[in-house]
């Protein structure tokens, strides 16, 4: 079954303009349904929660509904396990501060060298409190993480392993379920950055059996807002950062300083609406009866289409002898997302996007806050990589236009 791109693109008003957006890993276009939900909250229930009057009660109901919707999106066991906040960077920083209060000097944390800095820097900061941070490096030949390299890094003092679900540079999908089981068997917790994964594949935190998981909504068709998942048992035992009189059993509120943004949280129900309608549009009388399984159906369609457009671009880049793809060179929706990075021999990466701009196509170059990875790959002096990051609303026609632009450049 093929994704109906004409219908899909109607949900994103920005796509009606003259620009082609291939910088989606930096921020996707926003669903009108999300904007409509935000407007609905602000125009009809923009009050503080917890009062007895009906509008306040409505606002509370809407926030609770949004939290349940996000719990469904990631398949959390309870909406109490969903902590929403301003950004993944901030949510991971909050988590590190809270965990830092129960870790002791000499405890060890393992990070990777292929993550966005959000899931590295927050943990490295704990070295000031006496914790030890080790680095799990990707293999230089495969550019993949290998459990054989993690094994010698772990010991009885290892408290946490932090890594990404999908690299925002390499596009590689890490086998989180397998890694989580490996880490758990050795008595440690696992924290996963799902920012680069969430726009492309449906998350199931229960199946993955992770302890913590974070994602950003503005890269998954929503506003600048984020989500941190934590197993309820962990969130309950962690000390919160909110006011002293907020009960330690009051989750997720004890982690939401100044409270959560009501309207942006409610807006994310627009993503639930969209995924449900996407399933109904394509499956008709075979549409799943519940929201979670409608999401499964929608993301099945999304992954197949994304593999198709990835294949077109990767085949082109593979045909160019002066181009080096950084990451897997073949399209496979099971092992990579459509975030495609490359460098061109003899060309500084900064010189390429401005030439593409002339064709009203948006791409980007740089380290994308995965600075440690770019330095490890020896690409800093070249300006990092050129990144084309696609999502399901992109079309083959758009990819072909990008290829035409590249033909004039390299």
The SS3 assignment for 251 reads coil
At CA 88, angle to CA 372 and CA 80, rounded to 5? 140
- Predicted pLDDT of residue 1: 87
Sheet holding 323-325, edge to edge: 323-325, 339-344, 385-389, 364-366
- Predicted pLDDT of residue 251: 97
Compute and round to an integer the Cα radius of gyration of the chain: 21
- Count CB neighbours of 8 within 10 A: 21
Segments in 14-109 forming alpha helices (H): 32-44, 54-74, 88-100
What are the start and end residues of each CATH 3.90.1150.10 domain in the chain?
5-30+292-407
Count the alpha carbons within 13 Å of 198 in the hemisphere toward its beta carbon.
Answer: 29
Residue pLDDT tens, the chain, 410 long = 899 999 999 999 999 999 999 999 999 999 999 999 999 999 999 999 999 999 999 999 999 999 999 999 999 999 999 999 999 999 999 999 999 999 999 999 999 999 999 999 999 999 999 999 999 999 999 999 999 999 999 999 999 999 999 999 999 999 999 999 999 999 999 999 999 999 999 999 999 999 999 999 999 999 999 999 999 999 999 999 999 999 999 999 999 999 999 999 999 999 999 999 999 999 999 999 999 999 999 999 999 999 999 999 999 999 999 999 999 999 999 999 999 999 999 999 999 999 999 999 999 999 999 999 999 999 999 999 999 999 999 999 999 999 999 999 99
Structure tokens at 270: 């627009």
The SS3 assignment for 30 reads coil
Bridge partners of residue 388, in order along the sequence: 340
Sheet holding 226-230, edge to edge: 82-85, 226-230, 212-216, 189-193, 158-164, 108-112, 132-136
At CA 74, angle to CA 364 and CA 7, rounded to 5? 60
- Predicted pLDDT of residue 211: 98
Structure tokens at 161: 């392993």
Determine the CATH number of domain 34-271. 3.40.640.10
By C-alpha distance, which of 144, 143, 210 is closest to 182? 210
What are the start and end residues of each CATH 3.40.640.10 domain in the chain?
34-271
User: Locate tokens 């009057």: which residue?
Assistant: 53
- Predicted pLDDT of residue 29: 98
Q: For the domain made up of 5-30+292-407, give the CATH fold.
A: 3.90.1150
């Amino acid at each position: 079954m093929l994704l109906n791109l004409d219908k899909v693109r109607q949900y994103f008003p920005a796509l009606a303009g003259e620009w082609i957006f291939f910088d989606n890993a930096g921020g996707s276009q926003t669903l009108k349904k999300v904007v409509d939900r935000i407007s609905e909250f602000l125009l009809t229930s923009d009050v503080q929660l917890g009062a007895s009057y009906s509008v306040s009660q409505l606002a509370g109901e809407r926030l609770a509904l949004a939290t349940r919707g996000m719990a469904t999106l990631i398949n959390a066991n309870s909406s109490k396990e969903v902590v929403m906040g301003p950004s993944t960077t901030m949510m991971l920083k909050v988590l590190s501060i809270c965990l830092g209060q129960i870790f002791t000097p000499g405890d060890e944390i393992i990070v990777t060298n292929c993550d966005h800095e959000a899931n590295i820097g927050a943990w490295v900061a704990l070295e000031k409190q006496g914790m030890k941070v080790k680095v799990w490096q990707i293999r230089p030949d495969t550019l993949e993480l290998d459990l054989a390299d993690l094994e010698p890094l772990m010991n009885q003092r290892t408290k946490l392993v932090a890594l990404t679900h999908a690299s925002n540079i390499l596009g590689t999908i890490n086998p989180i379920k397998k890694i989580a089981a490996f880490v758990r068997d050795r008595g440690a917790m696992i924290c996963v950055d799902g920012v680069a994964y969430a726009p492309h594949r449906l998350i199931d935190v229960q199946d993955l059996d992770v302890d913590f998981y974070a994602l950003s909504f503005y890269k998954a068709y929503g506003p600048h807002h984020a989500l941190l998942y934590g197993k309820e048992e962990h969130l309950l035992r962690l000390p919160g950062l909110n006011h002293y009189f907020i009960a330690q059993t009051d989750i997720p509120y004890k982690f939401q300083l100044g409270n959560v943004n009501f309207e942006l949280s409610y807006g994310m129900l627009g993503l639930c609406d969209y995924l449900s309608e996407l399933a109904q549009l394509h499956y008709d009388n075979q549409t799943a009866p519940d929201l979670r399984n409608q999401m499964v159906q929608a993301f099945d369609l999304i992954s197949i289409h994304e593999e198709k457009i990835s294949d077109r671009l990767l085949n082109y880049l593979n045909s160019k002898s002066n181009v080096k793809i950084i990451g897997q060179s073949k399209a496979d929706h099971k092992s990579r997302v459509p975030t495609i990075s490359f460098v061109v021999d003899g060309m500084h990466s900064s010189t390429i996007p401005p030439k593409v701009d002339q064709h009203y196509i948006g791409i980007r170059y740089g380290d994308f806050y995965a600075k440690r990875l770019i330095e490890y790959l020896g690409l800093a002096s070249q300006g990092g990589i050129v990144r084309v990051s696609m999502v399901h609303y992109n079309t083959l026609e758009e990819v072909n236009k990008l290829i035409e632009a590249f033909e004039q450049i390299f």
